[in-house]
A and B are shown apart, each in its own frame.
Chain A
């Protein structure tokens, strides 16, 4: 049985990472931006699992659990902050959240 070459996974993960960065830079809705950040973290998870499996080294898979836990904590805090700002301002559009200017 042929196994899928490592490059396929790495290219997919690099593509997901690029999509995440692009999304963060161009989307205006704070929640969508947050989803793109999760996409970046998950692309790193894919790369970690791939390397771990091809190197026969379990450390990468263990790290993925840490990344998932941290990502969950980060989104819990992030969504709470987005809710707090929505209650005060009734918008989550990043362009309208602009009190501070130099």
Chain B
């Protein structure tokens, strides 16, 4: 079940100042902004990797100050640039990390891993026993997505997941990602506007630790804000 996320007057001094907005359950939202604008910090508030200095974050109406963070994290997918795969574990072992933590049976985990890897074009038979170092950057990131999605999380947090990939692989992964994204609330951090428009239905623009724009993706490029126009200019050929 997708979850809702609610930021209420959240500050993380000195990075973020008075963040206020809601994300409905099942929504796909992109955070864009320049480096240091506060997008990643805001993302990391959702699974408690960063704690607010004031204000509070709510997931499905429950305050992150009171709920069990370990359990929340096991139901929140997390995909990052560089994938963060465990180097000493095979692709299969990496993908089944959260199912093992949740106590799934081996057969349940194997079935789910097989299905997930099929969708991401990484057949279990061919990739399951390989180590992350033997995979290309794009393949590693596919494993990263499979690992984050396998246990059907309520929220999927993505922090520049495709930032280090070449443009063609990047495009392929964006398409694979869009095909997978139903049934989960998505927050996707990127500084690439075309990517944000492709993967999200709503865009939140950060600048200087504040939200300066929050609108449907389809209306974003028409916004008169100078920073929006700079992103549009930077994205056009």
A pairs with B: no
